[in-house]
Amino acid sequence: MKFTCNTSVLAEACNIVQRGVPQKSTIPATEGIFMQAKNSRLTLTGYDLEVGITTSIECSAESEGSIVLNARLLCDILRRLPASAVTINVDAHNLCKIKSGEAEFSLVGIPANDYPELPTVSGGLPFAIKQNVLRDMVKQTIFAVAVQDIKPVHKGIKFEVENNNLRLISCDGFRLAIRNEIIEYAGDDMTFVVPAKTLSEVVKLADNDDENVTFSIGKKFILFEIGNYRIISRLLEGEFFNYKNAIPAQSSTKARVNLKLILDSVERTSLLITSKIKSPIRCVFDENTIKISSATSLGAANDKIPAAIEGKRVEIGFNNTYLTDCLRTVDADEVNIELSSPVSPIIIKPIEGDSFIFLIIPMRLKNENIS
């Protein structure tokens, strides 16, 4: 195999494909990038047996073929090549020579036959959504994905497609995030769970607001097509948390509050809370005011902000990180907060509609009163 292509284009493609390459693997070939030159196109693939990223770029192929090269070395070399063009020549013994300008490298490659074949997705009806819409939906739910859970299915985001509505759901046992969006889809209703790792890569590539992300869903795998890149991923299996039963049907207290005011206040009163010195944020909802405080061995902080409050007084505690994670994802000037009791989950919603719903489990407070 011998081909020539643009150095910067190849370097960028390899850097992105490298995200699908595991740092360590029991299969040496998967620690490399699969390269295939055919019909004036160079196909690049990174695959860790769970998530695969593939793309193709233009090349001038003198002879066709394929090889697997160590991903880290290849990307490091390409970033430092001096000329705008690079020629890669692979001999019959898988010895690869990389030449650009006066710089030349020799790498020992791995036979292409040793590289695992990417799964295919068939049978599913594809649908599309704007890149910026999917990006926002993922960002507003991925923070609540479980990092450690006895159920691997909770390490992903659940997709529900029904009645031209796309709903994303995530939960980690302490908080729940739901994001809804109207879409155009002519197929049957369906649900599936995509690993958070996969969606992180999708979001990184979804940077063109005018273009679509196309989904193709099979029984065990999903394929995302974003521009010139394809991401294929295994779907997570198992029974997902029944989130509908977790949402309180009624609330005794409702507060309408400016998002920036409450976020800034929570962040201020969180300054005394550290990873080693943990304490809940204490919030009192009463008489059109939210009093927010914290107390640790380092000291105490007190603050209050105005809010339009209806219902009875509620004093409740939160993990400050869980609360700020939710608030930081909101793209609105105001939010509604619904509460039932000091031990019941709170709900954060938009002023109108149900484009997002965040649910947070409270922390028990000690008996001292807020000033």
Q: Which of 211, 243, 275 is the last residue in one of the domains?
A: 243
Q: Are residues 218 and 275 in the same domain?
A: no
| Cβ atoms of residues 205 and 227 within 8 Å | yes
Q: How confident is the model at residue 367 (pLDDT cuts 50, 70, 90)?
A: low
Q: Poorest-confidence range of 44-58, 71-85, 240-254?
A: 240-254
- Among residues 195, 296, 205, which one has the least CA distance to residue 236? 195
Beta bridge partner(s), residue 110: 68
In a domain, 278, yes or no: yes
What per-residue confidence (pLDDT) applies to 365?
Answer: 87
| Overall average pLDDT of the 175-196 stretch | 91
Q: Are residues 258 and 234 in the same domain?
A: no
Q: Are residues 136 and 102 in the same domain?
A: no
What per-residue confidence (pLDDT) applies to 123?
Answer: 66
Q: Is the pLDDT of residue 192 over 90?
A: yes
The contacts found for 9-13 with CB under 8 angstroms, 24 or more apart, are 9/57, 9/58, 10/42, 10/57, 10/78, 10/86, 11/75, 11/78, 11/79, 11/81, 13/44, 13/55, 13/57
Q: How confident is the model at residue 68 (pLDDT cuts 50, 70, 90)?
A: very high
Q: Are residues 80 and 97 in the same domain?
A: yes
Number of Cβ atoms within 10 Å of the Cβ of 166: 20
Q: Are residues 230 and 269 in the same domain?
A: no
Two tokens, residue 187:
């197929």
What per-residue confidence (pLDDT) applies to 124?
Answer: 65
Q: Are residues 174 and 85 in the same domain?
A: no
Q: Which of 83, 114, 145 is the last residue in one of the domains?
A: 114
**Percent of all residues in the chain with a pLDDT value above 90, rounded to a whole number:** 85
- Rounded to the nearest integer, the mean pLDDT of the chain is 94
Entry field: residues in the chain: 371
Q: Are residues 155 and 93 in the same domain?
A: no
What per-residue confidence (pLDDT) applies to 127?
Answer: 83
Q: Is the pLDDT of residue 179 over 60?
A: yes
Q: Which of 114, 140, 167 is the last residue in one of the domains?
A: 114
Could you give the number of structural domains in the chain?
A: 3
Q: How confident is the model at residue 370 (pLDDT cuts 50, 70, 90)?
A: very low
In a domain, 368, yes or no: no
Q: What is the CATH number of the domain that holds 353?
A: 3.10.150.10
Q: How confident is the model at residue 149 (pLDDT cuts 50, 70, 90)?
A: confident
In a domain, 369, yes or no: no
pTM reported for the whole predicted model:
0.92
> Which domain range does residue 215 map to?
127-243
How far is Cα 294 from Cα 284, in angstroms, rounded to an integer?
Answer: 12
Q: Poorest-confidence range of 9-18, 169-178, 257-266, 272-281?
A: 272-281
In a domain, 120, yes or no: no
How far is Cα 62 from Cα 42, in angstroms, rounded to an integer?
Answer: 12
Q: Is the pLDDT of residue 82 over 80?
A: yes
| Overall average pLDDT of the 97-126 stretch | 91
Give Cα separations from 169 to 89, 176, 180, 194, 202 (angstroms). 48, 7, 9, 11, 17
What per-residue confidence (pLDDT) applies to 75?
Answer: 97
What per-residue confidence (pLDDT) applies to 363?
Answer: 93
Q: Are residues 292 and 341 in the same domain?
A: yes
Q: Are residues 50 and 105 in the same domain?
A: yes
Q: Are residues 234 and 265 in the same domain?
A: no
How far is Cα 239 from Cα 247, in angstroms, rounded to an integer?
Answer: 18
In a domain, 238, yes or no: yes
What per-residue confidence (pLDDT) applies to 114?
Answer: 96
The pLDDT tens digits for 18-63 are: 999 998 889 999 999 999 999 999 999 999 999 999 999 999 999 9
| Overall average pLDDT of the 4-11 stretch | 98
Alpha carbon distance, N-terminus to C-terminus of the chain: 75
| Cβ atoms of residues 337 and 346 within 8 Å | yes
Q: Are residues 139 and 50 in the same domain?
A: no
Q: Are residues 221 and 321 in the same domain?
A: no
